[in-house]
Amino acid sequence: MPEVAVSMPHRILIVEDEPGLRLTLADRLQSEGYEIETAADGMHGYRRALDELFDLIVLDILLPGRNGLDVCRDLRREGIPIPILMLTARGQMVDKVLGLKLGADDYMTKPFEMIELLARIEALLRRTPRGATAADAVCVLGAARVDMRSAEVIRGGLRIPLAAREFQLFRYLLDHRGEVISREQILKEVWGYRHIPATRTVDVHISWLRQKLEEDPANPQWIVTAHRLGYRLTA
Ligand code: CA
């Protein structure tokens, strides 16, 4: 059973290209007890939001590389449900409307009062109950722990990051722990395939997960194979 760590701070990703504002936001939010990560452009922000787990994203719209609207839309397309608060420049009403249509939860117009931003962030986090997802759990598998917030395996003092798909696969197995899950079901639910191709993708990803999680990947203890049927997480 996952062991829930209730005291972990909310983790916020700030995607903002203006160094001064990025630093000010990071400092202030850190002093409010949040754990802060930052990205200075849209591509980097998008990657981090996909590969790691955050409780909220503060996302500027005008960004180099890939703008905030595209980042927001693509994160929603990838099924990332976490609250997004967009930052817009004054007068960009079109961007605000578009941002909300593309799946942002709230927006603020620059320049803004920090106290208002803090209030909006709190409100968004309140609306998203913790524990609604596995995001704040730590899953213990013998000598290995999976930090569901950072998508990392912690084993032998090392933090081993899980790729986005490995993590999604693990989370799916965890949600269905004890059940035998077929490859077809995994391809549908984790990969989103509607027609199931003949592919070794699932087996390859299972093997990668085992390399990271298992004491002896050749004789897995946690992610076991159900002969001809699929896989089962024994946790
Ligand atoms: Ca900007």
CA neighbor of 187 nearest in space, from 177, 209, 202, 198: 202
Q: How far apart are the first and last CA of the chain?
A: 6
Between the CA of 63 and the centroid of ligand 1 the distance, in Å, is 5
Query: What's the CA-to-centroid distance between 10 and ligand 1, angstroms?
Result: 24
Residue 6 has pLDDT above 50, yes or no: no
Distance 56 CA to ligand 1 centre (A): 18
Ligand 1 geometric centre to CA of 130 (Å)? 30
pTM exceeds 0.75 for this model:
no
Split at pLDDT 50, 70, 90, the class of 194 is: confident
- Ramachandran bin of 91, using left for φ above 0, alpha for ψ from -120 to 50, beta for the remaining angles: left
**CA 39 to ligand 1 centroid distance, Å:** 12
| Structure confidence at residue 203 (pLDDT) | 94
Give 8's pLDDT tier (boundaries 50, 70, 90): low
User: Ligand 1 center to residue 225 CA distance, Å?
Assistant: 49
